[in-house]
Amino acid sequence: MKNVVLLGATGSIGSSTLNVLRQNKEIFTLKAIALHQNLDIALEIVNEFSPEHVFISDKNISTDHPIFSSGCKIVTCLEDLKSVIQNPAIEIVISAISGFAGLQSSYWAIEAGKTTLIANKESIVSAGDILIPLAAQTKAKIIPVDSEHNAIYQCLLGEKDTSAVSTILITASGGPFRRLSMQELETVSLEDALQHPTWQMGSKITIDSATLMNKCLELIEACYLFNLPESRIEVATHPQSIIHSMVTYQDGSTIAQLSNPSMEVPIANALGMGDRLPIKFTALDFSALNLTFEPIPAGRETIFEMAREVCRQKGSSRSYF
């Protein structure tokens, strides 16, 4: 059995991960979960998976909630979360807290040499210069969960050496505002921005997708994860979200990874750690597919140029822009 810690268990990636674990109970034991304040969902997870530890980050939660009498150990102090993550019995840590708050626990997982499944792209974007060398030092394996990066990971066929790679193409759905001009964007609402055409995700990444900032973060994430200069990473709009990214090699071959848009696919790949885990999935209907590619919508070039500058400069800075 492989012992797993799931950080961000009550979120969108958390829920997809639980679906994969649920279908592979004979391989994985969920030892601990972390969340912010969603105790009702946490209790459902506790009742089904019986994790030993539950970390709750919100300091204002009511201790009257039945999760406090459910038998699992409730942890609220960050030092205790660190001990849970770094426990030698833990093999896999899934980093799926949203935003910058996910960095600390990603760091602890990598510091302890755990196989770290990174959904929290903000960890890599904000601290790739620290985390990637740390992983090399501790022999922690970082496996990307973000669908584009997991696709690239699969297309690299396990090769760490990217010298034979010519270019990588990261696909973008384009979000709900793909067809809108910069002027039309001035009148969109929060509700409009939260309506992603192809993916069901947490609110922060959905908004980042609507502004295309998510794709900028993914460009930076790819530079760090695959040790490639930004000049060899292209981004194209692919509204169907079927091809999740592709790698072109120097011999002219391009390898792509395809699936219907479900995060369970990259999560299963990452959890498989080289093996192919069985999960239920909706097969592609190739005769019905019409795969198209377009440039990034007009007017959005500036943020991509900013992201490319971040990739070129790396490190941290207050004054590049």
In the complex, the residues that contact ligand NDP under the rule CB under 6 A are: 8-14, 34-38, 57, 96-98, 101-102, 119-122, 146, 199, 201-203, 205, 263
Closest-approach residue to Mg ion (CB): 146
DSSP string covering 272-289, please? HTTS------PPP-GGG-
Min dist. Cβ of residue 156 to ligand NDP (A): 19
Q: Which of residues 39-78 bind Mg ion (CB under 5 A)?
A: none
Q: How far is CA 97 from the centre of its chain?
A: 9
Q: Which is nearer to Mg ion, 293 or 320 (CB)?
A: 293
Q: Is 120 in contact with 97 (CB distance < 8 Å)?
A: yes
State which amino acid sits at residue 7: L
Q: Which residues contact residue 239 at a Cβ distance below 8 angstroms, ignoring those fewer than 6 apart?
A: 173, 174, 178, 197, 198, 292, 294
Counting residues that bind Mg ion (by CB under 5 A) gives: 3
Partner from ligand NDP, Mg ion, none contacting 34, C-beta within 5 to 8 A by type: ligand NDP
Give min distance, CB of 44 to ligand NDP, in A: 12
- The option from Mg ion, ligand NDP, none interacting with 13 (CB < 5 to 8 A, set by class) reads ligand NDP
Q: Binding to Mg ion by residue 146, rule CB under 5 A?
A: yes
From 70-78, 148-156, 159-167, 277-285, span contacting Mg ion (CB under 5 A): 148-156
Could you write out the DSSP letters of every residue in 50-119?
Answer: --SEEEE--TT--TTSGGGGSSSEEE-SHHHHHHHHH-TT--EEEE---GGGGHHHHHHHHHTT-EEEE-
Which is nearer to Mg ion, 37 or 195 (by Cβ)? 195
**Residue 208 touches Mg ion, criterion: CB under 5 A:** no
Q: % helix / strand / coil in the chain, to the nearest 5?
A: 40, 20, 40
199 binds, among ligand NDP, Mg ion, none (CB under 5 to 8 A by kind): ligand NDP
Binding positions for Mg ion, rule: CB under 5 A? 146-148
